[in-house]
Amino acid sequence: MSVFGMVSAVAGFVKVRYLIDKAVVDNMVFRAHYRITSAILFLCCIIVTANNLIGDPIQCINDRGVPGHVINTYCWITYTFTLPHEQGKRIGTQVAHPGLGNDSQDKTYHSYYQWVPFMLFFQGVLFYMPHWIWKNWEQGKIRMVTEGMRGSMVGDKAEREHRQNRLVQYLIETMHMHNTYAFGYFFCEALNFINVVGNIFFTDKFLGGAFMTYGTDVVNFSNMNQENRTDPMVAVFPRVTKCTFHKFGPSGSIQKHDALCILALNILNEKIYIFLWFWFIILAVLSGLAICYSAAVVLMPSTRETILKRRFRFGAPNAVDTIIRKTQVGDFLVLHLLGQNTNQLVFGEILDEFVRRLNFGSNSNLPSAPSTLEMSPIYPEITKYKETET
């Protein structure tokens, strides 16, 4: 399969769905984890396995005592090494390549490169897992209850009001029954934060402790004088390394064959990991802010009040106060997700009707809306969900 074909297969992670097609049950930071980050990692996995971009990932030269294909395979499946004390020396006069020289000193072994595609793929799966958990926990509740009302206001006004009344009746009958639902959402948000921070340390361990300061080292390198600077990317992802192959000679003695190996794959690896360093840091900060926002929603009723007034433009003071006083966190999360999936005017009408029924209850002279049992022809799973919650 061509590189373009494989990339096209990954493009499905970054897609824009029209609101009428699928309900939105998370926020932008949440989607940045399972859509953008997973797509980036899977795309990088494809790039580093596409040999037609760089040719053979490793090519070694030796004294011809060992066939080329043998030394290439051996050095790829075992390891190569560089000499840290030879880093920073002048190329062409002091050393032939950065990190190469006499073997009688400490060595830094490089055996990560054959695992890079597997690592990137595994990380992509890790970033998708919280979404998968939340999707199974959520079970399409918001999609079912907003069926026919997502997107712009279309259709007959009487039909729209009929659907709104049934939705409000569902909200009234399931009051205080959504806290488990909300717990699942906040739990998966926390998983996103733990996952991105864990991946930073996981990648650092994978690269031998070089990832934590990799981005700052590269930034500092770009600001240094060109004659005196040492590229940190070459130290972490060397382009030329050494490899030692031992075999028995004609008389049975052990012969040592040194080889210089060109790791063409590292020209891609160094760019991929410098991008991932910055992206993981940005994503970790955004995920931390998202958790702080969710904590404020849970712990501070004033935050919920601000969301209703500022985001959803629901400005009737008494109505907002009624919603804050009489609903719990789970109820508010459902209302919040309903607001994300319906037209602002429609959502305002839903909240107005919801507040009236909270205030007047069964003693209201308002026309009664059909029960959730009567909603089953359009929302077949709502009755099932209610029975499960009970």
Q: What is the pLDDT of residues 329-349, one digit of tens each?
A: 999 999 999 988 888 888 888
Q: Which residue do the tokens 């060992």 mark?
A: 66
Q: Does the structure show a pLDDT above 60 at 202? A: yes
- For residue 2, name the pLDDT band (cuts at 50, 70, 90): low
- Above pLDDT 70, what percent of the chain? 81
C-alpha pair distances (Å), 370 with each of 172, 374, 375, 376? 12, 6, 7, 11
Report the pLDDT value the prediction gives residue 382, as an integer from 0 to 100.
43
Assess whether pLDDT exceeds 60 at residue 239: yes
Report the C-alpha gap between 259 and 266 in whole angstroms.
18
The pLDDT of residue 328: 92
What tokens does 348 get?
Answer: 């305002």
The CA–CA distances, whole Å, from 194 to 61, 127, 265 equal: 44, 10, 30
Highest-pLDDT range among 222-231, 271-280, 313-322, 381-390: 271-280
Mean pLDDT of the chain: 80
pLDDT tens digits, 64-79: 778 878 888 888 888 8
Residue found by looking up tokens 């709502």 in the block: 382
Q: What is the DSSP letter of 230?
A: -
CA dist 6 → 12, 32, 38, 47, 59 (Å): 11, 21, 15, 9, 26
Q: Give the burial class of 149: count Cβ atoms within 10 A of its Cβ; 0-12 exposed, 13-18 middle, 19 or more buried.
A: buried
pLDDT at 388 > cutoff 50: no
- Indicate the residue type of 39: A
- What pLDDT, on a 0 to 100 scale, did the predictor assign at position 218? 81
Whether the predicted pLDDT of 303 surpasses 80: yes
7-16, 23-32, 132-141, 242-251: segment of lowest average pLDDT? 7-16
